[in-house]
Structure 1
């Protein structure tokens, strides 16, 4: 098969479409013939040598994919060759074939395009596990989403609105704020022009920035608020006012998805299939796709994401 190989850490040009050995299904694994994958920020960090794959994971980038089941290994439950699926991966999505534990595989909802389905697993599992399973967002509460126009942000807007929450987003331009409002956000803050902590009070904050926003995030929390940090685009360190945290009886969570054990990922995937997929089938939730790029031109897709002008997901296609 062919896959995108990172020949050495560096700029997008280090991504190379090469012939590599085919994966073989181990016990409990499925081989997916990949229709499409999607670019995530973690892929950019891996390309730069800043985010190594977990032990035992594929060395090729790609944290999600859609495709057709090609082979099933021993002890696989509920899947057969020919099934139309998408999957949450620890790596390997930038390829023609990938091996994945069956617990991390989901059938593609009927109304979703097979290519666009590649943009669902990572964002759906990330938002559902962090906003609803960890932070326990409830109907009527306010969710603040940083990076509302990102893949994570566009999913968070839709899911939170579907469950009856008030959604506020930050984004980097009036145009991006407008797109977020079109997706259902109730309020938007252009972070280049305004300090969100001066006008927003939130029960739950989903943060991709990290250290740079820590103090302002705590300021923006309501009493009993929950801050979930899932990214570090603004650095790994920030000043935490414990006094403010105590007075508000608030909580700060830091989570990652990629390095979790298969059983934990499987529990998240099952919950997404049970609670999110019906909303996708009903047309309430949809993948938001900025553009499609041929898999072999992954370097161009990385340039698009690094430029930061996109809304939603950038997909890589084998179709």
Structure 2
């Protein structure tokens, strides 16, 4: 019979309208919500994402400024660029991959936690773990929102997350735990990964390996949420981490493209609006 295909673009449209209304209210109060995006200049995927943020953010009333990070930037140079970007901005986003000379952990500490709309600063990660979230990473927040939109009863269900990154797997674990699911986080060293995944009534995937999760990983009727993005030059299109054939087994399924991606963008816009509503600017 096949899965119910979740229309992420439709969900994102509703979120975008709500974001636009919040942005208009801020502007009416004399506040111009502003996002600064620092992007590695030599990475085409990061550049494409930055351009999409400019387009989506501007449409919803944000001012979006981009700052290109030189390939050879050192820590002192990065810190200078970051502080300049933070000036007058409510939200700051540092896109990955970082230039080779920068330590990702150090970068996470340097971003002002009150402007950390990616939710990666230890203060914001800690608040989420304590059940008092301020800024939740946009992709994790998008997956959570999409799951809630299905109307599936979540309390007591078994969830499996494949991937343990700081911006998807770990924060999503906290969000699902707060919904009273029993959550397992899997990774590259998980034994019998397909077998563990098949136990899930909710399966979320964010591992960065194109179409790795095949139908054998999916419990019949499960909600399958694909947060992967992999560009295939040969095919000239993006691919998710879940093979499309898995939709024949699942009960609910997010496609790539058109699933988690558009919702993620609107969640990032919403995080900027949260920061602006808090009135944090210099």
Q: TM-score, normalised by structure 2?
A: 0.46
- Report the structure, 1 or 2, having the larger strand content: 1
Q: TM-score, normalised by structure 1?
A: 0.42
By relative contact order (CA 8 Å, sep 6+), the higher-ranking structure is 2
